[in-house]
Chain A
Amino acid sequence: MPPTERSLPQSETDPANLARLAAENAELRRNNRDVFDYIRAKTNQLLNTMGTRSLPPEELADWSLLELDPIGIVAQSFQYVLENLRETNERLQLAHQEVQAVFEAVGAAVLVLDPQMRIIAFNDRVRTLLLNAGGDMTGVLCQKVVCRSKPAMQNCVHSKVLASGRPEASADFYTNGRFFDVIGQPILDPQGRVTRIVLAYNDVTEHKRSQSDLLVALDEVRRAKEQIDTLLRTMSDGLVATDGKRRIVLMNQAAEELLGLCLHESPGLPLLDVISHAGLRTHLEAVARGEAHLLTDMEFVIDGQKRVFQARTTAFSSTAASDQGRITLLHDVTRARDIERVKDEILSTAAHQLRTPLSSVIGYSDLLIQAYHDIGDEARLEYLRLIHAKAEQLSEIVSNLLDISRIEASEGVTLTCQAHSATLICRDAIAGFLHSPSGHPIELVVRGEDVPILVDHFAILQVLENLLSNAMKYSPPGSPVVVTLWAGDGMGHVSVCDRGIGMTGEQAAQAFDKFYRADASNTAIAGTGLGLTIVRHLVEAHGGRVAIDSQVGEGTVVHCTFPLA
């Protein structure tokens, strides 16, 4: 507020008094100015202390200094500044404690470094993971305690962070027998300069080990899968697997070919929807009904040939019974069924074939026992010869049965082939028949030089003996049998020719069939109907051929070829 004018009393206008008053006034004004200056100075001092610029004098007129009370205002504000500082300090303290707790609790080893790589701070994990050592490391160069090897130093995350000013990372840092992923984080000052670098070392040793174990396990699984795939691919049995809802989940190549399906087109389809084979459908439906007979024979036609398969369906284990998958195996039992059939045939034929000579043996021997003394010596000898002949016949039948059963059961013959002289072998075979009671003269004709052939000695002998035996059986006593030997077309040729009863073309065509006998009504001629079957098996096992040329009433020529040695 500006000072107001007032009229002064007479006594006060005295010059001396005026001078004194003027001096006092000047003194008062000076004192006032000093006080105002003091207030301004103190106000500015307080403002500066609380971080604010000084006020220019024109902003605070003298009169307002007293009225406004700037010191009072600023002092009170300053109180709030102090209070704010105290609160901020408390928050900082709390934050510091939090950071410290995280620093110690974190699983990684944490190092705080200055730009010169000196350690400023570190947590306990640094000792256990990186160093295995105690003692204070503050101020120590990190290279002296952490990166002691050259390769480790070359991949220094500290240097990278210092160069870029940004977070950096490095994988697979190896030290102290462990692997680490290292993350470097810069702490910048207000000018953006790196003042601290925080390095966190995450121990990935176990992770790497697990990863490596997992890779090994995966590799094993892959190999096992490959083995199963190979097994499924190469197995001759057809295999179809279905899930709990009878949908196709797996099928091997054999099953695909057998059923005319393709797994890539059929997965997820209900098996019964895609199977057209009536026998297999019946089997699967029976299995679905829970019927006990899970093994079923059924026929498939493959490449125009009928083959017998046995279907076997089994459940494979699953946690939930309702969700049980099934595996159907289609096993080719054609051969087993053939063998069974052959065995049945052999058995019934054997019984039949053995019965006739056995009846003779029993009959004549019974006669000899019952009427030994009533029979003359000549007749007795005749009966004994007959018994002996029937016993020989029985022996031949048993021998043939054994041969054919061995040949049929093992599907082929095991031969030990060596070079032999065909002439010598033929002579050996003929020698066995020279003293036969039928009195057939046997002639050996060798066209050209001796023929060396690559054969199994015993097998070829059996072939020749069977042929000679047939020739003599089916030709009149005393008629000649001729064995001819020659080489031609890269093969050795042997033919056995008789002048016997001969066969019709139809009979000749069936002569090699098992148990076939051209004239079955003639029981006087003993035989199993297996001789020529065995001959064909043995000759073909050598890689040769056998053929019959026969005329009824004129005779028969059986012609065989063998490989040359």
Chain B
Amino acid sequence: MIPPPEESILDIRGQVCPSSLLTTLRALNQHAASLRRGDLRLRILTDSRDAVSTIPAAAENMGFLVGVEKLPAGHYEVVISHAAD
């Protein structure tokens, strides 16, 4: 049985500086190998509307699968995992 992937949560709520996108990209770069293997899933919590469009675009171009969900608390959750194929 394949074990479920580990989850790493990156909470960047309330963060304007440094950029949410760059913080996320730095985390993606760090965990790229684990994410690609499917060992890890990255959950990013953000309240920046800009980030909700920039982060998925960049992550998808890097070959990851991205899902965005608005949570009842008012912030967003961007889930990044290995590519669909």
Decide yes or no: A59 and B32 within 8 Å by CB, A52-B54, A52-B58, A88-B63 being known contacts.
no
Contacts from B to A (Cβ < 8 Å): 16-22, 25-26, 28-29, 32, 50, 53-54, 57-58, 61-63, 83, 85
Give how many A-B residue pairs fall within 8 Å (CB-CB).
76
Candidate in B19, B53, B54, B85 with the most chain A CB atoms within 10 angstroms: B19
Which of B17, B25, B54 has a CB less than 8 Å from the CB of A73?
A: B25
- Chain A residues within 8 Å of chain B by Cβ, number: 26
A60 touches B17 (CB 8 A): yes
Do B57 and A73 touch (CB < 8 A)?
Answer: no
User: CB within 8 A of B57: which of A43, A51, A87, A91?
Assistant: A51
Does B85 contact A91, Cβ atoms closer than 8 Å? Answer: yes
Structural contact, B28 and A60, CB atoms closer than 8 A? no
Q: Is A17 an interface residue (CB 8 A)?
A: no
| A58, CB-defined interface residue at 8 Å | yes
What are 15 contact pairs spanning A and B, CB under 8 A?
Answer: A52-B21, A53-B54, A55-B21, A58-B16, A58-B17, A60-B22, A61-B17, A61-B18, A68-B22, A74-B25, A80-B28, A81-B63, A84-B63, A87-B63, A91-B85
Cβ proximity bits A56-69 to B, threshold 8 Å, 1 near / 0 not:
00111100100110
Which chain B positions have C-beta within 8 A of A87? 63
Q: In the complex, are the beta carbons of A59 and B19 less than 8 A apart?
A: yes
- Cβ-closest chain B residue relative to A50: B61
**Given the complex, which residues of A lie within 8 Å of B26, measured CB to CB?**
68, 73
Contact of B62 among A53, A67, A84 (CB under 8 A): A84
A341–B80 Cα distance when bound, in Å, is: 109
- B58 & A47 in contact (Cβ 8 Å cutoff): yes
Contacts of B54 in A (CB 8 A): 47, 52-53
Distance, CA A64 to CA B22, complexed state (A): 11
Known: A47-B58, A55-B19, A61-B17. A77 touches B63 (CB 8 A): no
**What's the nearest-Cβ distance from chain B to residue A164, in Å?**
31
> Which residues of A are interface residues toward B (Cβ below 8 A)?
43, 47, 50-53, 55, 58-61, 64, 67-68, 70, 73-74, 76-77, 80-81, 83-84, 87-88, 91
Instruction: Tell me if B61 and A81 are in contact (CB < 8 A).
Output: yes
B51 to nearest A CB, angstroms?
Answer: 9
| B16 & A77 in contact (Cβ 8 Å cutoff) | no
Inside 8 A of B20's CB, which chain A residues have their CB?
59
* A60:B61 contact, CB within 8 angstroms: no
Residues of chain A with a CB closer than 8 A to B32's CB: 80
- Shortest Cβ distance from B67 into chain A, in angstroms? 18
Chain A residues lying within 8 Å of B25, measured Cβ to Cβ, are 73-74, 76-77
Contacts of B61 in A (CB 8 A): 50-52, 81, 84
A9 to chain B, nearest CB (A): 35
Q: Which 3 A-B pairs have the closest CB atoms?
A: A84-B63, A59-B19, A80-B62
CB distance from B29 to the nearest CB of A (A): 5
Check A83–B63 contact: CB distance below 8 A. Answer: yes
C-alpha gap A84/B66 in the complex (Å): 15
A61 to B22, CA, bound (A): 13
Residues of A within 8 A of B21 (CB): 47, 52, 55, 59
Contacts of A84 in B (CB 8 A): 61-63, 83
A256 to B22, CA, bound (A): 97
- With both beta carbons as reference points, the residue of chain A lying nearest to B26 in the complex is identified as A73
- Whether the pair B53, A77 counts as a contact (CB closer than 8 A) is no
CB of A75 to closest CB in B, whole Å: 10
